[in-house]
Amino acid sequence: MPHCSDCGAYVTRDFIRVFGADGTVSGCPDCTTYRDLNNGGAVDGAGESRAEQLRGKKRPL
Ligand SMILES: [Zn+2]
């Protein structure tokens, strides 16, 4: 089950896909904010909404 490597809270696979790397994330809504996650470098689409980022990342390769 995916979880936050910082606080251990459960996170969704979509969340990992957008904000994480190698199946883990260093922050989650329980221990940080989406703004901080976006500023953390995992996502550089600062002008996109979170929903747009989720849709973009969910496309199968
Ligand atoms: Zn966390």
Model pLDDT, residue 59? 55
SS (H, E, C) the chain: CCEECCCCCECCHHHHHHHCECCEECCCCCCCCHHHHHHCCCCCCCCCCHHHHHHHHHCCC
CB 16 within 8 A of CB 23: yes
Per-residue pLDDT of the chain (61 residues; tens, 9 = 90+): 899 988 999 999 998 888 888 888 888 888 988 777 777 644 444 444 555 556 666 555 5
CA of 37 to the centre of ligand 1 (A): 11
CA of 57 to the centre of ligand 1 (A): 21
CA of 51 to the centre of ligand 1 (A): 20
Instruction: State the pTM of this model.
Output: 0.54
Model pLDDT, residue 45? 43
Model pLDDT, residue 54? 60
CA of 58 to the centre of ligand 1 (A): 22
Model pLDDT, residue 43? 46
